[in-house]
């Protein structure tokens, strides 16, 4: 399941990649930091803006930021290897998927609508998405927004 979802995300971003459509290289620079070619590795991990978001989210979940990772697959493997119960892993994995979704969303907002979504707004949206996703599951109903804000998920364990 993990691999399938990652591949579909990679497939989606590769499919949309301007490089594939033969646009000159200068047009392919990242629309947010302007410092790298906009390939999936850059959009989701390499970009300073994406790294700031991952950093905020991982600190919130009390996971140290892995400075040497270069793509989503490596990050997911790193997250998966963290010590924790299977429920904890499921929560963290849900947050990671919400992060990937919001990074992609914010990237498209910039490219198609010229709207820059700040790091703090994206981080808030990720927390909201993951909270709603978790609360919509029938077996996880007891999570309060206050506890979620502190990443206190003891009620789920
Ligand atoms: Zn960038």
Instruction: Map tokens 């919001």 to a residue.
Output: 102
Query: What is the per-residue pLDDT for 145?
Result: 92
The first and second tokens of residue 117, run together, are: 């979504």
> Which tokens hold the place of 144?
């309060």
Cα(87) to ligand 1 centroid in Å equals 33
User: What is the per-residue pLDDT for 141?
Assistant: 64
- Interval between CA 9 and ligand 1 midpoint (Å): 18
Going residue by residue through the chain, which has 157 residues, state the pLDDT in tens, using 9 for 90 and above.
344 344 444 444 433 444 444 444 445 788 888 888 888 999 999 999 999 999 999 999 999 999 899 999 999 999 989 999 998 999 999 999 999 999 999 999 998 999 999 999 999 999 999 999 998 875 666 789 999 999 999 888 7
Q: What separation in Å is there between the alpha carbon of 38 and the centre of ligand 1?
A: 7
Euclidean distance between the first and the last CA atom of the chain, given in angstroms as a whole number: 22
Segments making up each domain of the chain, as ranges: 48-156
Measured CA to CA, the distance from residue 50 to residue 26 in angstroms comes to 21
DSSP 35: S
Contact 38, 29 (CB under 8 A): yes
Check: CB of residue 30 under 8 Å from CB of residue 37: yes
């Amino acid at each position: 399941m993990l691999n399938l979802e990652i591949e579909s995300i990679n497939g989606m971003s590769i499919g949309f990649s301007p490089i594939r459509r033969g646009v000159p290289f200068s047009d392919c620079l990242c629309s947010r930091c302007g410092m790298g070619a906009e390939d999936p590795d850059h959009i989701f991990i390499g970009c300073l803006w994406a790294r700031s978001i991952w950093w905020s989210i991982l600190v919130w979940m009390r996971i140290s930021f892995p400075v040497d990772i270069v793509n989503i697959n490596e990050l997911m493997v790193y997250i998966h290897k963290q010590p924790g119960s299977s429920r904890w892993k499921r929560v963290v994995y849900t947050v990671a998927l919400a992060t990937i979704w919001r990074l992609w969303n914010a990237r498209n907002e910039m490219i198609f609508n010229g709207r820059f979504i700040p790091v703090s707004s994206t981080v808030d949206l990720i927390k909201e998405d993951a909270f709603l996703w978790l609360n919509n599951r029938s077996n996880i109903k007891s999570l309060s927004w206050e506890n979620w804000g502190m990443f206190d998920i003891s009620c789920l364990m």
